[in-house]
Chains A and B, each alone.
Chain A
């Protein structure tokens, strides 16, 4: 493992541990309001200051990181599963199935991702409880983000279908489900892992975009998107630099994922 990857792993582990220990590091929670100290600068009691409602920003960053870092992989798992189901099966079956699956995939891919997301998000009720809004946001990311991965998996399954060992297995009388589960599916695993890892930073960034646009996780639940929304009210960068901490954390985490991804992308290619 290269130094860059080791560093990326270390950073991700540190951020994960800090967010997992949010209850201990910020026992007051993300929603408690300190009304005597609204929009306060960093101090010994509030390390990153408070927001305009008097909520501790450090606590919100920790809890928001936990939500984004737990649910983005969950959404990635869902999208990878759907991609395996649609793309993998279509590629394995080949012929008209593969063509149909690819036509649907192409149609989805021709839609700009953010347009698709906000259209689907608008179909859901917007005035839902914060917990439901978290679930809806990440569920949508998972349900809509399978297309690119399905394309890759369809190609991989298609090339496996015409590979020598699968032909040999067919010639030996193995067919149907056994051929798929014993011979094809295990060979798709590296591509599946790669697609899973590639999806995580994409979903983190998508949630952030939705959050800033007011279509993501609802208040008072924090997420990176809702935390970044605070930047909207800034007049200059130097005025309240501590408000940039969520952004810096997001960049560091996504960059760490990118470092880990370079190996995964080689597998996917």
Chain B
């Protein structure tokens, strides 16, 4: 249990380091982006020279990158993530409004992807028919060769929910690993012996296969969160879903760096959390196994 504590501490430290580094990179990018040093209010003909000078003075201390970074982090710690240049709204509000849709989409997409993955991978491992194996490999291989944005466009064309598009983007990646893991697990000598002795398929699966493959499957599950988050951009952008992915796309088109870097740091944290969670659970499962 002591080493589990160390593992969790290690992951927590990695998250904090990522947050600090991500924050620094965000601040640097925002600071160095073209147009940072300009304020469109300066173009207002109603302002006199003193007012324009006052506006410039107010920005002067931001010229020091370290001062800018600390003030940026201080504001970020209080939940103030700046204002979107393109949409003219606080980044925090934009994220809060759009996050639920993206989370729902990702949850459903990942659920569907894993349902499809486990169904096909388990049946491939059980049946061990070369025809079935070839068929599933061809299907997953075809989806692997399709750009995520094309799948999103096809989902619009066929009026299919966005969650299914995400599932079909993630599925070929997860299927490939899961199938290999399960086939490998089923070809272990003790499972072949158990089968020869007439043990039921259900008992073999839950008592001998699941404990062996769970840690690796959890690792793949952690990575699949990152894949799904990436897939959210084309799916939301092309399906017209007002989520974080669409926001990131709009920010990229509008070169809205304050918004874009905050979204990227947020998504990185979510994927890191997912990976760390998968790693810790996998560690606990392995510990029980031992």
Contact = CB atoms under 8 A, between A and B. Distances in A.
B148 interface: yes
Contacts of A110: 18, 226, 268, 271-272, 275
A232 B267 CA distance: 27
A114 interface: yes
Chain A interface helix/strand/loop/mixed: helix
A89 B145 CA distance: 33
Nearest to B272: A110
A68 to B, nearest CB: 12
Interface in B205-252: 226-227, 229-231, 233-234, 237-238, 248-249, 251-252
A51 to B, nearest CB: 16
Chain B interface helix/strand/loop/mixed: helix
B157 A119 contact: no
16 contacts: A106-B14, A107-B21, A115-B248, A115-B267, A116-B264, A118-B249, A122-B257, A208-B147, A208-B150, A209-B234, A215-B253, A247-B150, A251-B142, A255-B142, A255-B145, A258-B144
Given A209-B147, A228-B147, A254-B145, A112 B226 contact: yes
Give the interface size bracket for A toward B: 35 or more
A208 B268 contact: no
A137 to B, nearest CB: 13
Nearest to A118: B252
B234 A212 contact: yes
B108 interface: no
A208 B146 CA distance: 9
Nearest to B225: A112
Contacts of B147: 205, 208-209, 212, 225, 228, 250
Nearest to B144: A258
Interface in A215-262: 215, 225, 228, 231-232, 234-237, 247, 250-251, 254-255, 258
Nearest to A127: B255
A255 B256 CA distance: 36
A106 B276 CA distance: 12
Interface of B: 14, 18, 21, 29, 33-34, 141-142, 144-150, 153-154, 157-158, 226-227, 229-231, 233-234, 237-238, 248-249, 251-253, 255-257, 260-261, 263-264, 267-268, 271-272, 275
A231 B256 CA distance: 27
Nearest to A208: B147
A156 to B, nearest CB: 21
Contacts, number: 118
B229 A123 contact: no
Contacts of B253: 122, 126, 214-215
Contacts of B234: 114, 209, 212-213
Interface of A: 106-107, 110-116, 118-119, 121-123, 125-126, 201, 205, 208-209, 212-215, 225, 228, 231-232, 234-237, 247, 250-251, 254-255, 258
Given A110-B271, A112-B230, A114-B233, A258 B153 contact: no
Given A112-B229, A209-B147, A231-B153, 11 more contacts: A112-B271, A115-B233, A115-B264, A115-B268, A126-B253, A205-B145, A209-B234, A212-B238, A213-B252, A251-B142, A254-B145
A215 B253 CA distance: 7
B150 A123 contact: no
Given A111-B271, A209-B148, A231-B153, A119 B261 contact: yes
B255 A122 contact: yes
A114 B255 contact: no
Contact of B33 (A107, A116, A121, A123): A123
